[in-house]
Structure 1
Amino acid sequence: MAGLVKAKKYDWKDSNMALFGSDTERQVKKESAMTEPAWQGAGTEPGLQIWRIVKFQVTDWPKEDYGKFYNGDSYIVLYTYKEGDSEDLKYDLHFWIGKNSSQDEYGTAAYKTVELDTYLDDKAVQHREVQGHESERFKSYFNAIQLLEGGAETGFRHVEPVEYKPRLLQFNGKGRHITVKEVPFTEKSLNSDDVFVLDKGLEIIQWNGAGANGMEKIKAQQFCQQLEAERSGASNSVVEEGSRAPAFYDGLPDEDVEMEEEDEGVETGDKTLMKVSDAGGQIEMTEVKTGTVTKDDLTSDDVFLVDNGLQVFVYVGANASPAEKRNGFPYAHKYIQENNRKPFMHVTVVKEGQQSELDNVLA
């Protein structure tokens, strides 16, 4: 069994949100929100809807693939719901960025997320999600999140035994929040606290670490059964750590591998409040205070950023200018870049009067 491997710095390239107003924006802005075919019927009833960005276009993501995300792609995820006895529809709107997604793709995903919010009469709370650092709200939509290598075109629905490239999947989490991600194809990726699946195409082997929990085992078993059902002639088996299972271990090379950093950041308790205003003719961002931030610190005339160490909230006042209202994600991006914050920080854009996690952050 491999020991600890040296972590490397998270190498995800943060999106260039200067794309707003650039050639990319002009390219994806050829049609208004009301004429975007993908938005027809969006948010009309409670449930989940997902789209993938393909060459500046918004394309439907198959429902049978909900929960699967390829690291070479960017996605838009809309969750529509009702509260209590109210018939009013509410929305949480996310764009998800794969670590190998191109700037064009995640720039388009960010822009189209704002466009979909416009289509929904500005009723959505908007979120930016980065692969491997998804918010608890985002994770709650799925029984398990599968983080896979490549783009959707490299999917594994059809198997050619001679040409199939094996992969190793890790199941990690608690309760309903189980994450499934493809890890480097080597024995050194294994650890005793999780469950792993060796997918060899027509042979699927589940390996249970000695410290793995019950839900990790169940989710892995369900995953294996799904693959078996999709692939005619495929078989699956389960092995326990410590048992003699040459079919599993012989299928994994023993080589050095660097594992990705899992640092999620730390909430210090101290908040930073920034004010965004274009009153002087150009966008300016100034620090208002640090420490405790209350609802009384926020006004209706401007946009504010609240940084609690784990995520950045963009609060959009009801009387903010159109430009201030439109550019919540670029403001957050600018702040994250210029203040040496973690590039994968979760970003939420919330308008005055909307309920969100920001209510729990403000004193």
Structure 2
Amino acid sequence: MAAWRVHAYGALAELRLDEARVPPLRAADELLVRVHSSSLNPLDVAMIGGYGRHALNVLRALEGARGGSGAGGAGVEFPLVVGRDFAGEVVAAGAATRLGRGARVWGALPPHWPGAHAQYVVVKERWAGEAPSAGAMAGSPAAGGALYAALTACSALRVAGLAGGRGGRGRRVLLLGLGGVGHAALQLLARRGFDTLVGCAGELAERARAAGASAALDRHAPDYAEQLAASGPYEVILDCAGLGGWEASARDRRWRFERYVTLTTPLLRYMDEWGSVLGGAAAAAELARQSAAAAAAAPRGFPPPHVRWAYFYPRAEDIELLRRLASRDQLAVCVERAWGWREAGAAYARAAQGHARGKLLIDFAAS
């Protein structure tokens, strides 16, 4: 098969289109999928530069020790194939799988697993599910760019305490950022009836309102901070804009909220620098400091807020929920551009520039 791979960490110049062996099934719960489409996420570019290498190699080694596929073998790091989500067709299935040969599927892969920017990928069945069979996403390359962002959004809402129990009526949420994760999170919040205010670039305001935002504030407006403060209080502030946990204490005392959830954390960076134990301890200490700072900055008479960190996590229940929503056109993916798989180098170059206004797709059905 053909695969986009890097053989050493560094710049995108390390990336090349290689001939590679089709990965074998190594466990009864695995599927071999012919990839039809996949997307580029900021994590893919960061991983090529070496981000998360320590923690991910620990996970690869553990996977190899259990006899899993790891990165092509026990503890193998290179060649590295990135690409976290995909849509495609099952061409071989392990004995313990429910999905069989010929099934149209979509899925998302954890960062330590071999990626989907290849013509074939092996995936644990619990990280995949039946692809939408109805709605605008059915048969569309956009399905290959949906799940990594949407599953990350599901995880963030769970961490924020917004995913289960009572609905969203009467509960106000501030969503910062309208990239892939933010757009998915907004649609999930709107579906459950949350009053969601979005802070985003002005040109994305119409998209935010179409996806269910009660209002959209232009983050470039000179009075943006004042508008955010005046629009509160919020039950949750959800940071999908890369601001990080310290932003929870960066505003004045009119900044009123109960929980601040961010997807931007130093955990993998600290583990890269200091190893698993010391890096994990340093990250835990920083999270505690962020919460303490947010509590100290809270207005008098308002309960002290706290900071939480959220991460991508693939759950079979979430994948099925997202399939149902997509089939009813209640989950959409905004696409900036799709490239044929032989031209994927240009897609990586675009991803490295940042500030994409939609998903960047690799379409394996196009030459």
Tell whether the structures are fold-level matches, with TM greater than 0.5. no
TM-score, normalised to structure 1, is 0.26
More helix by share: 2
The higher relative CO (CA closer than 8 Å, separation ≥ 6) is in 2
Larger Rg: 1
Task: Give the TM-score normalised by the residue count of structure 2.
Answer: 0.26
